[in-house]
């Protein structure tokens, strides 16, 4: 993910130029590292939020992993039951 403005930013450069960055836009290279670090600390700059497609893909991946885990747990339980049957009454 790339870093973007999380809020609208107006930043003054040493030469008097004002850089305006709209929320969601990439951060221009004209903003120096020290200023960029401060903007990160106050929450004005950060990773771009995930897209709806990325969220859907992750949800599908999580569902698949949960299904695999359940299958593996069931197989282990069956294997354990086969090795250690409950005592007969």
Map out the domains of the chain as residue ranges. 3-47, 50-83
Residue 83 pLDDT greater than 90, yes or no = no
pLDDT of 82? 81
Global pTM value = 0.57
Phi, psi of 62 (to 5 degrees): -65, -45
User: For 2-42, how does the pLDDT look when each residue is reduced to its tens digit (9 = 90+)?
Assistant: 789 999 999 999 999 999 999 999 999 999 999 999 999 99
Average pLDDT over residues 59-86: 91
The whole-angstrom separation of Cα 68 and Cα 78 is 15
Q: Which string of DSSP letters, residue by residue, matches 23-73?
A: TTSBPPTTS-HHHHHHHHHTTSEEEPPPPHHHHHHHHHHHHHHHHHHHHHH
The answer to whether the Cα torsion of 22, 28, 30, 32 is positive or negative is positive
pLDDT of 85? 77
pLDDT of 1? 53
């Amino acid at each position: 993910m790339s870093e973007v403005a999380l809020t609208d930013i107006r930043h003054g450069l040493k030469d008097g130029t004002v850089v305006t960055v709209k929320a969601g836009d990439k951060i221009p290279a004209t903003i120096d590292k020290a200023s960029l670090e401060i903007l990160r600390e106050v929450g004005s700059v950060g990773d771009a939020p995930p897209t709806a497609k990325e969220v859907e893909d992750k949800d599908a991946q999580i569902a698949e992993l949960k299904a695999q885990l359940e299958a593996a747990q069931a197989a282990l339980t069956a294997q354990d039951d086969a090795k250690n049957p409950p005592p007969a009454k």
